[in-house]
Structure 1
């Protein structure tokens, strides 16, 4: 009797359900032979293929041969042995199962005179300890000549496979976000290339803090994936390539950082922008251009604040009851106060109001107000804005400022206009602006997770609401009719400009500190000599903040 005849006899006695067949794969010198090394069915072998007199027999024998890794034999039970053999061999070679079980389900009865029908199947792949993959599919069966065949499509191997696609094992973890920004956008990525900032997240001064908080993905990931002809993963069909870990949520904002970085990069000198969210203290952005170097001076560099410190001087004077914002004060071009001669930058307002003197940054007015205060009043007001506070933010080293009681009357006059011994950081100035906006003490933070909360070593209490209301009105006037009108078209902005001499007095720093909505920020131009460019950068920054 011929082999085909013997096969027909076996088919006649077959049962409807395929017996479970587990085949151990013996790996010699690296596994099964590569698909391209196996012999392909020839036209002669296909013609001499087994005869399956009915759909059930065709489906049974096909599944039995697939489960037994008899890929060539299984292909001869299809209407396209060449493609079927290649796909089945490839599946066995790439998945390398320790066993495969195949079960035939319901076979639909062909309609009268019809030459096609379908049969349900279940394949269960044993891919190693803890990795048993089972799924259901459907075979298309067609009558050809004197026999039934499985109509070959990739769906005869897996229901989601399409032409040109194949199954592969993925054991390397996929790139996934381990730190996200306040909007849920990826900031830190972990994957086969290690842990690093996402290309779209540019936080040069915060890189170490952000990547240090991210946890690498575990390396024991395992998945079966559907890939295209280029090897690109289209879908994970079994297992996972992600760790399943919840990404750590930071307070930073990629969009705000990009706006800040673009603004400082447009400036030729040393430029810094720090932005904080007043409502929760979240650090939104810390940007510093190449000219400013790589040391994070934005976070802990201490500098004379110049006239931005008039926010504290005005607060001390209002709290002491010396003036209200509408009180009359003198604003001459120069004034001799104690042994110090104080000058304005080329203007004289005569007798004016406190709020107008503040808006135009009148040094002679505020030097005089400072001279009338108790020795510790300016330090006390500065402390109410967090400039003497101390915070431990996980991953960051920050310094707010150093403002102590004046050592002499002359020193107090100088401190009243932000000179002398007063020192602040851009970070501290941003917190000061955030305090004005929030109306309460602001604890800066980089993380929204309670386990990474900021430690308050020395906190502070904000000025009274009535005082802050006056300060806000004066800061708004700075923009609408004072020294920062360059921000008048940037929305409802509140702020204060500052120019602070340093060294031998030949050079000066340029400042702008303020807020719009829930974004408080500080622009600092080291050695910028003027506050005008700081205002310009502030407008560029806000133009990019939506």
Structure 2
């Protein structure tokens, strides 16, 4: 919860606390003094609180105000535990809840308010121990953080998927500021954009001799503000840190890391402190808290004269951070990147056919998350792999003869075969499948019922809700209410898919089982409230063995004379499909690697061939 929200919550609870206090006592007693002191302290009405203490009002006001700054506290809340009166003295025991912000747990402790009668009025006996039993004269509170360094996003073999980059961490040692703290903070706030009061409380709450991180800059931004930072007096300290912030391929999947800014500090409202690195997108963003953990913190007391630590009042170990283990194979990723170098625009998704783990996501002129995982593209005749599952089960044989005319109408819907035309010559279902003949495939609409076609689509993951930490799209098929709808579906004209969807389809035919995709193996789920996470991942769905045997032969025929088959030494299986706007698919596999290639103004099969060839050459 953000500091702003916590403060509002504390304010809202004030009326309840006041009512509780009022209901606990009856006059004549110390009721009013206890109520006014604690409510004034809790709400920041230090004038009211000081009026109920027997000390110098100015001293009490200053102490209460300083305590909030020294703790960098977002809010206080108090609860009366007991009140005991003995003659002219009364002692109230109360519990305190102090919200230290920065996603730390509440600091909870118990203390007492000793009261005495002064000129007929009850007053709190003032001493620092009223604030905390262990706080003594000549001491103050301080908060001592100990952040853990950011962890890496790793490939399947444990290699880091990012390189070290430079971050410039600007800070100060409070003891070096002397009486110039307020002036220093004001100047730094103008340069960094961080709120002046937040910077001041960070400085005030830190042990005097510790380096306090106040702002972080990447190289470009640091160079832009360096002159202004150099002009600040007393001089700021700049700590140059090497952190794993530069993503390796696949860059958009891994995600960028940047410096915490005033804007991201407000949006995150989590354990980040100025000086921390923050995931901007990709896995770095989805697993921000896991990669950074939470800062170990201590509440301590400091000797005002020496600045030395006196005692530890409370310690939080923080949440342990750790790396994110992905399924990316860096060797396959390089092959995917290299295969797209000659393409104008395109993407390639490679999965392990045996388990549907994502091994590579290459892109050129397209987005790895937006297009490769989450894109919504027409399936075209690449969808004939799925349609063939339903058709073969319905009794259509690969050897059945079908005409592939230039044009055909089915249920009132026109279909045009723009290339690889066979005119009036009949070819087999397998041959028309291999050539992607739209008119021949559409003619089979009445050979299968809509529910069987939709059942096959679901079995191959179309429209299924799966579990991935990044935005993805499993595909969609509309209701099939007519022969025209069915014909369009068989030809893939009213079916939308992502490249990831089609890579999984190819993997299902190769392995004999459709499985949902996996990108991250550890931790089990991204940070709460982020990512596209289903409660229960969908179960694997086996492919009918007879259908799989027929589809394998049909997809072997689909690459005959195809540049995809020229890559590497292993046998290649697949289909190609042309789409509107000069886009094209290749969907298939070689060995245990299933791929889907989607390109614009390029040859999808040639990209697949280069990918398979690069795999062979990199062994």
Bin for the TM-score computed over the shorter chain? 0.5 to 0.7
Which residue number in structure 2 is paired with residue 259 of structure 1? 335
**Matched length:** 336
TM-score (norm 2): 0.49
Q: Shift of residue 194 of structure 1?
A: 3.1
Q: CA RMSD in A?
A: 3.1
Q: Shift of residue 541 of structure 1?
A: 1.7
Residue 516 (structure 1) aligned to one of 582, 590, 608: 590
Q: Which runs of 5+ in 1 are unaligned?
A: 1-171, 221-243, 502-506
Which residue number in structure 2 is paired with residue 361 of structure 1? 436
Asked if 1:180 corresponds to 2:256, the answer is: no
Q: Which SS does the other structure have where 1:259 is aligned?
A: helix
CA contact (8 A) 2:462 2:497 kept: yes
Q: Shift of residue 253 of structure 1?
A: 1.2
Q: Shift of residue 250 of structure 1?
A: 1.4
CA contact (8 A) 2:372 2:499 kept: yes
Distance 1:257 1:534 in 2: 17
Q: Shift of residue 347 of structure 1?
A: 1.6
Asked if 1:326 corresponds to 2:399, the answer is: yes
CA 1:480–1:271: 2 relative to 1, 3 Å: same
Q: Shift of residue 297 of structure 1?
A: 1.5
Q: Which has the higher helix share?
A: 2
Distance 1:217 1:389 in 2: 33
Distance 2:545 2:523 in 1: 29
Distance 2:516 2:325 in 1: 17
Q: Which structure would you say has the larger Rg?
A: 1
Q: Which SS does the other structure have where 1:544 is aligned?
A: helix
CA 1:486–1:425: 2 relative to 1, 3 Å: closer
Q: Shift of residue 341 of structure 1?
A: 3.6
Kindly report which structure 2 residues correspond to 1:380-459, keeping only aligned pairs within 5 A, or say none: 380-394=455-469, 396-419=470-493, 421-449=494-522, 451-452=524-525, 455=534, 456=536, 458-459=538-539
Asked if 1:488 corresponds to 2:566, the answer is: yes
Q: Which runs of 5+ in 2 are unaligned?
A: 1-145, 166-240, 256-280, 297-319, 527-532
Distance 2:482 2:321 in 1: 58
Distance 1:473 1:414 in 2: 24
TM-score (norm 1): 0.56
Distance 2:397 2:555 in 1: 14
Which residue number in structure 2 is paired with residue 338 of structure 1? 411
Q: Shift of residue 319 of structure 1?
A: 0.9
Which residue number in structure 1 is paired with residue 559 of structure 2? 479
CA contact (8 A) 1:496 1:513 kept: yes
CA contact (8 A) 2:502 2:587 kept: yes
CA 1:369–1:460: 2 relative to 1, 3 Å: farther
CA 1:460–1:377: 2 relative to 1, 3 Å: farther
Asked if 1:305 corresponds to 2:353, the answer is: no
CA contact (8 A) 2:348 2:363 kept: yes
Q: Shift of residue 448 of structure 1?
A: 2.3
CA 1:175–1:473: 2 relative to 1, 3 Å: farther
Which residue number in structure 2 is paired with residue 194 of structure 1? 243
CA 1:391–1:260: 2 relative to 1, 3 Å: same
CA contact (8 A) 1:496 1:514 kept: yes
Residue 203 (structure 1) aligned to one of 246, 251, 265: 251
Q: Which SS does the other structure have where 1:281 is aligned?
A: coil
Q: Which SS does the other structure have where 1:443 is aligned?
A: coil
Distance 1:329 1:444 in 2: 36
Which residue number in structure 2 is paired with residue 49 of structure 1? none
